[in-house]
């Protein structure tokens, strides 16, 4: 792979200097809830599951039952999977554990695909030795006239169990805990509540449309939660950063139920670095304590100062630094002019036009869904094609659940009409059409599609993906459809990444021996598919690196020769439809001309099933994906312009991992 001189070393320097060198204790003191920040999402699951296991074993040793308050949603699934592993591999027993779940939709049958009863049994209870009579979940099928009594019974059951020892929580975008929406009082108990519009929008994907999301729910109250002897609350992803800061550093507010946790003596927030991004200790630690100035922290501080003052970087003065508590940064560089120049040059060095991008290299672009490639990196893809690279786009999942049923009807109708008009005379077309029409006519929201419908939806997305990369100058042979097994549940919620998923990715890496791979580093994907695909890729790379190391010590010459064939590729992370890398975090910034951005948007247009109204748009953003992309890429370029660097029409951002 041919890069411009110094690229590899610059990338290594960037990796070594990301983030503040130490946590500011004064900044951390602004946090009114104890907050543990971990590097990786999976580390949260291990830490929290370990704490729960310790409690269970302590209670068991004392002849007592552990009473757990449990939550649903995508965030705690990792905790439950780790508890299942500990039960299976380490003998952790749930025989003497009593559980109380936070909430349930209303009305909701326990056997519904959307019910939290079903969620808990599928994701935890069915895999451990818990007694059915020890499981308590609010009954969403209670007749309306009996709901108040059911809530009183639930509170009494908690009291009879001796109270909750440890309550597990997630946090919604409104700051709700359980279904305690804005306006919930600190004295509230288990009750029927109306769901906030934001909460219903968040749940829309699970229900295949907001119109199908229940408008009410049964939930433990704030007072019920605060009665727990210990509380653990979880948050992951960039999209939770704002509400995490509000809950942890803001004033107690009835409009943000999570702020009531500040009044609890034993609450711990477990979050990843993405969710911690807005906390003062990470966002602006220099405002509250002495910091050790690394190059990366200096860039962040000067960019922040430029944005605060509305001045270009090279125009910042000693007075600007002093008035914003950055005199120590000037002292480190010797003068404001030197500080300005150094940061200006560091930002400028991130810009990579076509001449500074890889040429004649073997490249794999891993796309979690069949449109993430063109949405996230359509601009650089075109440049890489022009640079004569050998590119394969590996679509990791079918994306078939994100196709509307009406699209299926349209394509089947096309087949029927073609069969009739061209007199193809195949009975298979009529039989297929009948099965599809009959199923769709009786389908209820959330029902798993029959195999025929799943296949049609998969093929729709595959043909769109091919059309998209052809727009950028590639041919159909560049597309590989991996169809990883973890995704093939037919439901919104997916299985965990398993050996079969990793094996498929590993086989592709072994076959193509890429020098560079692109991976989705976006953690705001509504259902975690991007994160899970990233896990499969990293596990495959690590397996190959380990195998490579073992082969190098092998005695057989043939094995030793094979060992030299795989070299771990460089990994560039892109972000998807929901977020973009800030210019301070990006390793490379790739400029796009007006024509290149237009071509990228045309490639996005080829994904017709996702246009106009995508099934899973995410992020409470009513704009289409192409509109978000256009605004985001232009804003990245505009940010550099405001900082005083060269003016470009649009830009994509990448981080070397």
Contacts with 229 (C-beta within 8 Å, 6 or more apart), sequence order? 163, 164, 165, 166, 266
In tens, the pLDDT along 367-405 reads 999 999 999 999 999 999 999 999 999 999 999 988 999
Tens of pLDDT along 71-101?
998 889 999 999 999 999 999 999 999 999 9
- Angle 481-486-492 (CA atoms, 0-180°, nearest 5)? 100
What's the token pair of residue 312?
């270009």
pLDDT of residue 484: 95
Taking alpha carbons only, the member of 348, 287, 279 closest to residue 321 is: 287
Rounded to an integer, the average pLDDT of 293-319 is 97
For 348-404, strand residue ranges (E) read 362-367, 390-395
Please tell me which residue, 73 or 519, carries the higher pLDDT value: 519
Give per-residue pLDDT as tens, 322-342. 999 999 999 999 999 999 999
- The pTM of the full predicted model, rounded to 2 decimals, is 0.84
Question: Confidence class of residue 526 from pLDDT cuts 50, 70 and 90?
Answer: low
Strands 570-574 and 650-656: antiparallel
Q: How far apart are CA 647 and CA 592, in angstroms?
A: 11
The answer on pLDDT for 553 being more than 70 is no
Quote the pLDDT of residue 171.
95
Length of the chain: 657
Q: What is the pLDDT of residues 465-475, one digit of tens each?
A: 999 999 999 99
Between 202-216, 305-319, 589-603, the lowest mean confidence (pLDDT) is in 202-216
Domains, the chain, ordered by start: 1-22+291-349 (no CATH), 25-281 (3.40.50.1360), 358-402+449-656 (3.40.50.10320)
Q: Which residue among the candidates 10, 181, 580, 596 is catalytic per the annotation?
A: 181
The answer to whether the CB of 139 falls within 8 A of the CB of 225 is no
**pLDDT tens readout for residues 242-297:** 999 999 999 999 999 999 999 999 999 999 998 999 999 999 999 988 999 999 99
Residue 181 annotated to the active site: yes
Tell the burial category of 353 from Cβ atoms under 10 Å away from its Cβ (0-12, 13-18, 19+): middle
Quote the mean pLDDT of the chain: 90
φ, ψ at 606 (rounded to 5°): -65, -20
């Amino acid at each position: 792979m041919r890069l411009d001189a110094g690229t590899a070393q610059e990338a290594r320097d960037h990796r070594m200097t990301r983030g503040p060198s130490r946590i500011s204790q004064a900044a951390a003191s602004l946090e009114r809830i104890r907050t543990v920040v971990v590097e990786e999402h999976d580390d949260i699951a291990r830490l929290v599951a370990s704490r729960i296991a310790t409690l269970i074993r302590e209670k068991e040793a004392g002849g007592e039952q552990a009473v757990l308050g449990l939550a649903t949603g995508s965030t705690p699934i990792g905790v439950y999977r780790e508890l299942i592993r500990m039960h299976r591999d380490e003998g952790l027993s749930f025989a003497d554990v009593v559980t109380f779940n936070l909430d349930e939709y209303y009305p909701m049958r326990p056997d519904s695909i959307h019910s939290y009863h079903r969620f808990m049994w599928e994701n935890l209870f069915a895999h451990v030795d818990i007694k059915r009579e020890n499981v308590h979940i609010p009954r969403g099928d209670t007749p309306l006239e009996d709901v108040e009594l059911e809530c009183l019974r639930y509170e009494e059951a908690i009291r009879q169990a001796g109270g909750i020892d440890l309550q597990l929580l997630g946090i919604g975008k409104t700051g709700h805990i359980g279904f305690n929406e804005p306006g919930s009082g600190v004295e509230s108990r288990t009750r029927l509540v109306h769901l906030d519009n934001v909460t219903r929008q968040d749940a829309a994907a699970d229900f295949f449309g907001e119109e199908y999301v229940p408008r009410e729910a049964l939930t433990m109250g704030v007072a019920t939660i605060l009665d727990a002897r210990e509380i653990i609350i979880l948050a992951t992803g960039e999209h939770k950063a704002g509400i995490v800061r509000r809950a942890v550093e803001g004033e107690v507010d009835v409009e943000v139920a999570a702020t009531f946790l500040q009044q609890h003596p034993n609450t711990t927030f477990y979050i990843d670095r993405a969710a911690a991004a807005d906390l003062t200790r990470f966002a602006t630690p220099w405002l509250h304590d002495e910091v050790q100035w690394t190059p990366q922290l200096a860039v962040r501080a000067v960019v922040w100062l430029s944005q605060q003052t509305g001045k270009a970087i090279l125009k910042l003065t000693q007075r600007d630094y002093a008035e914003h508590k950055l005199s120590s940064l000037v002292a480190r560089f010797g003068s404001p002019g030197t500080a300005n120049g150094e940061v200006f040059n560091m930002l400028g060095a991130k810009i990579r036009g076509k001449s500074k991008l890889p040429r004649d290299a073997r490249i794999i672009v891993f796309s979690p869904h069949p449109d993430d490639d063109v949405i996230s990196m359509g601009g650089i893809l075109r440049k890489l094609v022009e640079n004569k690279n050998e590119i394969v786009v590996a679509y990791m999942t079918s994306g078939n659940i994100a196709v509307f049923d009406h699209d299926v009807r349209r394509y089947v109708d096309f087949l029927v009409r073609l069969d009739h008009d061209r007199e193809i005379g195949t009975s298979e077309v009529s039989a297929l059409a009948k099965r599809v029409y009959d199923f769709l006519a009786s389908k209820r929201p959330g029902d798993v599609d029959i195999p025929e419908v799943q296949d049609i939806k998969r093929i729709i997305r595959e043909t769109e993906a091919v059309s998209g990369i052809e727009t950028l100058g590639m041919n159909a042979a560049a597309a590989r459809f991996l169809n990883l097994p973890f995704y093939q549940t037919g439901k919104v919620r997916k299985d965990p990444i398993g050996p079969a998923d990793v094996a498929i990715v590993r086989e592709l890496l072994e076959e193509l021996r890429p020098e560079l791979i692109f991976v989705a580093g976006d953690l705001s994907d509504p259902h975690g598919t991007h994160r899970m695909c990233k896990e499969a890729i990293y596990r495959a790379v690590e397996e190959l690196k380990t195998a490579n190391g073992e082969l190098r010590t092998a005695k057989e010459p043939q094995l030793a020769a094979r060992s030299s064939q795989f070299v771990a590729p460089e990994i560039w992370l892109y972000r998807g439809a929901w977020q973009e890398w800030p210019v301070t975090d990006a390793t490379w910034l790739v400029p796009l001309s007006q024509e290149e951005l237009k071509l990228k948007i045309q490639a996005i247009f080829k994904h017709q099933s996702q246009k106009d109204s995508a099934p899973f748009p995410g992020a409470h953003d009513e704009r289409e994906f192409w509109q978000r992309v256009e605004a985001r890429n232009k804003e990245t370029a505009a940010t550099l312009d405001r900082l005083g660097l060269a003016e470009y029409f649009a830009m994509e951002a990448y981080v070397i991992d």
